[in-house]
Homo-oligomer: A and B are copies of this chain.
Amino acid sequence: MRYHKISDETIRRLPVYLRDLLTLSQQRRAGVSSNDLASLLGVNPWQIRKDFSYFGDFGTRGVGYDVENLIRQIRKILRLSTVNKVALVGVGNLGTAVMAYPGFKRYGFEIVAAFDIAPKKIGKHIGDVRIEDITALHTLYRRQIHIAAIAVPRDAAQETAEAVVRAGVKGILNFSPCYITVPKRVKVITIDIAMDLARLPYYLSGN
């Protein structure tokens, strides 16, 4: 089943809903109203109802939404129900942190390969993953790894992006603090950690 015409904005919010629903699920909450969900997230209830209306009517008026059902539906829409294999490029501090980050599994992601340019790192293991020479990137297509996480220094980011695109990658998670340009068919999500921090001072001044 395809879900057409879902706006980028809604797709951007779905993982946020999912995260909070997973927390509610851990707390063994069975149902949640759009008002409760809205206050948890700090958004408008009408926005939640509008977002959810894209995929048919999940909720029952007066009763609210079934938490487990919502989780299942959102996972399905975001195509997180199956395991998504990820290759990490750049095993410095940031890359090592990305590999160690326990949050990925919650969303069905598994880092199954890691690449670096430094000879002293190549051949070492992080967990079960052996660090490979960056020249072996071309094997990604054969190994059916379609997502790359890029955590290389700023200067190497564009070059690395082009290399993973040549290796058949369809989606890039860019942790390097700069923009990268890729063909339109490749989707890039840039993670700017500092950007999330940027709204904090606003709240520290007595608003």
Contact = CB atoms under 8 A, between A and B. Distances in A.
Contacts of A77: 202
A205 to B, nearest CB: 6
B98 A96 contact: no
Interface stretch (A100-108, A115-123, A128-136): A100-108
Nearest to A82: B201
A194 B146 contact: no
A199 B96 contact: no
B97 A197 contact: no
Interface in A101-160: 101-104, 106-109, 146-147, 149, 154
B198 A18 contact: yes
B193 A191 contact: yes
Contacts of A93: 93, 96-97, 100
A9 interface: yes
Nearest to A104: B194
A156 to B, nearest CB: 13
Interface string A172-200: 01000101000000010101111111111
Contact of A204 (B104, B170, B200): B170
A8 B187 CA distance: 28
A5 to B, nearest CB: 10
A195 B79 contact: no
Contacts of A197: 86, 104, 107, 109, 149, 173, 189, 191
16 contacts: A11-B202, A12-B199, A15-B195, A15-B196, A79-B204, A86-B197, A97-B98, A101-B193, A103-B177, A103-B193, A104-B194, A104-B197, A106-B177, A109-B194, A147-B201, A171-B201
Interface of A: 2, 4, 6, 8-9, 11-12, 14-16, 18-19, 23, 42-44, 77-80, 84, 86, 92-94, 96-98, 100-104, 106-109, 146-147, 149, 154, 170-171, 173, 177, 179, 187, 189, 191-205, 207
